[in-house]
Amino acid sequence: MQLTPNQVRLMMLQVADAIIEAEPMLSQADRDLGDGDHGLGMKRGMEAVKAQLEPLEAASVEQVFVTTGTAMMTSMGGASGALFGTLFRAGGKALAASGNFDPPDLPLFFEAALEGVMKRGGAKPGDKTMIDALAPAAAKAREVTALPLAEAISAIADAAESGKEASKAMVAQFGRAKTLGEACIGFPDAGACSIVVMLNAMRSFVSCGV
pLDDT in tens, 176-207: 666 666 767 889 999 999 999 999 999 999 99
Phi and psi torsions of 130, nearest 5°:
-55, -25
Q: What's the total number of domains in the chain?
A: 1
Q: How far apart are alpha carbons 107 and 179 in whole angstroms?
A: 34
Q: What is the mean pLDDT of residues 15-30?
A: 96
Q: What is the pLDDT of residue 163?
A: 97
Residue 175: which domain range?
Answer: 5-207
| pLDDT surpassing 60 at residue 210 | no
Burial of 34 per CB tally in 10 Å (0-12, 13-18, 19+): middle
Q: How far apart are alpha carbons 93 and 115 in whole angstroms?
A: 12
Q: Decide: helix, strand or coil at residue 168.
A: coil
| pLDDT surpassing 80 at residue 105 | yes
The residues pairing with 101 across neighbouring beta strands, listed in sequence order, are 3
* Mean of per-residue pLDDT scores for the chain: 93
Q: CATH code at 169?
A: 1.25.40.340
The residue ranking higher by pLDDT, 32 or 160, is: 160
Q: What is the pLDDT of residue 1?
A: 85
